[in-house]
Amino acid sequence: MRQKELLDFFTCVREKRPLVHHITNYVTVNDCANITICAGGAPVMADAPEEVAEMTGFAGALVLNIGTLNAAQVESMILAGGMANDRQIPIILDPVGAGATRFRTETVQRLLDELKISVLKGNEGEIGVLAGAGGKVRGVDSHGLAGDVVSIAKDYAKSGRFVVAVSGATDIVTDGKRAFLVENGHPLMGSISGTGCMAASVTGAFCAVSDDMVKASAAALAAFGIAGQLAAVSAKGPFTFKIALFDELAGLTPAALAKGAKIRKA
């Protein structure tokens, strides 16, 4: 991806300050709101069925996260997603813990069947389960995926007609034709809860200002990863790292993203 494209993505997020509507989990909801602000977007967290569709209609992107799933929340997601599809608003789906329980796996499949998802962002285990490739999940953590992850992601993206973003030491982003490897990030990002959820929020902010979901997702993951790299420099442990992560993303410039992004074609 060219440096100018990365610069333009981030500049556009900061200038337009897109509204990103979340229906997400109560463990990381505050972190997702704050990371959206730090990225340059404006978060809103509304899950009441009486208002989710109306709220989504104002948004630039919709982020759905099943981390603390319940039946009422699923119905709100369907309502919000229907409005997003009607308005051609991109939907980022984070299938947290898919494969851990039947309820989670069936809920994700229902969302994929009933809604047009723009970006499915999950870890290797979650994506492997959903793609039928034998991923392993315990709780909400990935326990690996047998086989070539890039090939599995590409095949699944092609058949599902959405972008697949696989988080890991190296992130993979593909629409089935194009595939990018994002090599930004730091191991400390796995030492706190919620970095995967926050990555989906940043992805929502970037996708809200672009028609190219593949490049927007890759740029978002690079920006978040760079913030993690910078935060690790001064961190004394997981919680000082978390605070620094917000600060570094808020202070990241489009030029620094363009210069520091490690994105290559797979």
DSSP assignments along 160-228, one per residue: HTSEEEEESSSEEEE-SS-EEEE----GGGGSSTTHHHHHHHHHHHHHTT-S-HHHHHHHHHHHHHHHH
pLDDT score, position 135: 53
pLDDT digits (tens, 9 = 90+) for 29-81: 999 999 999 999 999 999 999 999 999 999 999 999 999 999 999 999 999 99
Residue found by looking up tokens 């759905």 in the block: 64
Instruction: Provide block-wise average pLDDT over 10 residues at a time, the chain (266 residues).
Output: 89 97 96 98 97 97 96 97 98 92 94 98 92 61 66 95 95 97 96 94 98 97 97 95 98 94 95
Q: Does domain 3-265 have CATH number 3.20.10.10?
A: no
Check if the beta carbon of residue 111 is closer than 8 Å to that of residue 103: no
Q: Is 103 exposed, middle or buried (0-12, 13-18, 19+ CB in 10 A)?
A: middle
Q: What backbone phi and psi angles, to 5 degrees, belong to 176? A: 100, -25
pLDDT score, position 81: 98
Q: Give the residue extent of every domain in the chain.
A: 3-265
Pairing relationship of beta strands 61-65 and 42-45 according to DSSP bridges:
unpaired
pLDDT digits (tens, 9 = 90+) for 8-17: 999 999 999 9
C-alpha to C-alpha distance for 94 and 207, rounded to whole angstroms: 14
C-alpha to C-alpha distance for 173 and 215, rounded to whole angstroms: 8
C-alpha to C-alpha distance for 218 and 190, rounded to whole angstroms: 19
